[in-house]
Structure 1
Amino acid sequence: MDDLPLFPFPPGPVMEPPPEYAERRSGCPFGKVAMRTGGEAILLVRHRDIAAATASPLMSRNHARPQVPRGNSPDFLYAPDLLINQGTDTHAKVHRTVTRALGPSRVASTSEFVGSIAGALLDSAPDTAGPADLVAAYTSPLPLLVVCRLLRIPDRDAARIHAWAAAYAQVISLTSEERDREVEDFTGYVAALVTRVRDDPGDSVLDELASPAAGLTDAELVSVVKLLVSAGVEAVSTALARMVLQLLLDRRAGWTQLRERPESVPAAVDELLRLAYEGNVAALRVATGKVELPSGTVAAGQAVLLAWIAGLHDPEVYPDPTRLRFDRPSVRMIGFGGGRHICPGAGLAKEILRVALTTLLDRRPDLRLAVPPEAIRFEAHKIGNVIQELPVRW
């Protein structure tokens, strides 16, 4: 293992994947890497391999399995109550229930209030030629307030929820003891929220999940809410900031295109999610049986890393992959997973992003970067490379 390349690779240029991915796609598409947290795994870098792996029921996402490599630092993915770490029947029940609660009718019903929150955030931001941090003013609070509304969390608790979600998803630096305290407080808050909603039903996503018909236990519901808050806030916020930055690169070429053709925003969301995917991260799977993939065979018990950004830049599927194009043929977004582990909130996330971009184009048409792209500061975390500040003018 000492001779294996270390993963994750060093970061590439601004908003571009590390060059090692292209090298491995052409010369070593099914080779092993040593994980910096410990253990080794096959690194998948071709779109067809990643798509096949996500669809295979033999590729387990359960991080609690004894064969799964793990490091010395705490990681929320190894939490025993996490949905992905549940048995097959429990996972199927919970995943089915959450998917139904976040289905097309719920997505359609959120558009108006997402737009109202987005508009209010931009209206409250000062009209100034001076630099403003778009992360603090818009890309961070928007998904936070939307998720709070969907889960009946009062706005007055939003700041606490944000801090807890960041600690749970490990997008802030804390000691093990500090993180344990934050997660314990987060769990206690969510447990009290679940009790309150069960005692006083309403019409939110949480109410649907807490209804007797859903059949979820309190423990299952608490785990689901923690995951929805963390993914719905941190992942969407990270994606939105990266998408806006991508549009503002190359002398605002993408931004100008969308201003001239706002009807392209839905297609732009798909393309931006591909091109601006959350950096140099990969999902861990362990084969529970022999799995035949296009580039090779995975033995039972073998760990595999799915390098999303490599697959999303595979020229076999996306010709000229570093180019921003809103007219690409539709391809299933592998970044949302697949099979029984496909993200149940994918439709909702895309709708939040669509409304966020539409509102930003309408309210801040002259948006532009206030600093050179290379001055934008990223930090690598479990969910990807998070933009710390996005200085802009409008």
Structure 2
Amino acid sequence: MDRSELVELLSPEGLRLLDSLPPYEPASDVVKMVSDLRKAGHAPGLVSAVLSQSKLRAKAVPKFGEFASRMLFTEAGLEQATRLKVAALHAGRFAAAGLTRVADLGSGIGGDALALAAMDLIVTAVDADEVTAAIASFNLAPFPAATVVHSDAESFDLSECDAAWLDPARRTSGHSNTSRLNPEDYSPSLNFVFDLAKRLPIGVKLGPGHDRDQIPAEAEAQWISVNGALVEMGLWFGVLARDGIRRAALVLRPEGPAELTAAADSEDAAVVPLGEYLYEPDGAVIRARLIGDLARSLDAGMLSEGIAYLTAETVQHTPFATAFRVLDVLPFDEKKLRLALAERGIGTLEIKKRGVDIDPATLRTRLKLKGTTSATLILTRAAGHRVALLVERV
């Protein structure tokens, strides 16, 4: 969205038109909608802006729920925005620590600032992009204690704030591989962020796969997954970091939240022979390197050194892993595997893999599956040797 589109959208006519549209559906006849709106006398730029916003509002529902219908978005801002339930957890840290004046540096469309303002905190949302800052102003308008400033995060005056939240954006232009970014490849830079942590209590949102070598020793690192999808790593400093906790895995599921915490990475459990059950740890547990602690809580061991599968003779319910019953150990050879699956009439196959160089989609095609039975196949290593495990979810 450019500045002219935003001006069209924020006009009284634009907002009325946007709110009058029916909920966006993927099967909507967009061409007909454009034609109808043009026939009604609306300018082409306005029609384009409101239809784009209608689509973004529908796309935003998984993150913002019913609030999405009253917000404005940019494509990039929505992609980077924190889910509302996760943002509420962020805001809860600031409130619990007794902090009242928070700067949201690099606020984007204002997702985290919304949650902070809803906790009755005084929030200043700061973003360097003019259009994004204007959209944040619209989204935060219902909260009198929230203000938006169009400014560079690193030059913003923090003298009136007692804490800060930061969501650094990655500068990926010109990089073919962004898995190990330099601290200066972020905006604001991580050097600025970590220097700020020496002066002010702060929380920082980073990608869940962020280089662990860049985590400061004094920070609490918390990985969060939502319904099994790993969404972020949060770093907490000062009074926002919990005493004695440096590694945490928080899983948010419909039945409620659950968390594993530790003072440091946990030592892996011993490798044991394949048992009747297999556990696949949640991604938050894996990234937090708390697999060993999870294994010991389940009376389980590692299936193979360095591979995030656990095995045990008995099964226990846990929110931190998916449990499978091992039905059979099949030949790892592709031809023999095809025959074994055909004998069982398996026509639908979920393939999971760790520790082996195989593309599941390509393998599934080559297996030429036929039949009416569904199954799950795990390709991995047991005690260092490749294995193909036919399993069912517990």
Q: Same fold (TM over 0.5)?
A: no
Q: Compare the two structures and name the one with the higher strand fraction.
A: 2
Using CA pairs under 8 Å that are at least 6 residues apart, name the structure with larger relative contact order, 1 or 2.
1
TM-score range normalised by the length of the shorter chain:
under 0.3
TM (norm. structure 1) is 0.26
Which structure shows the higher helix fraction? Answer: 1
TM-score under structure 2 length normalisation: 0.26
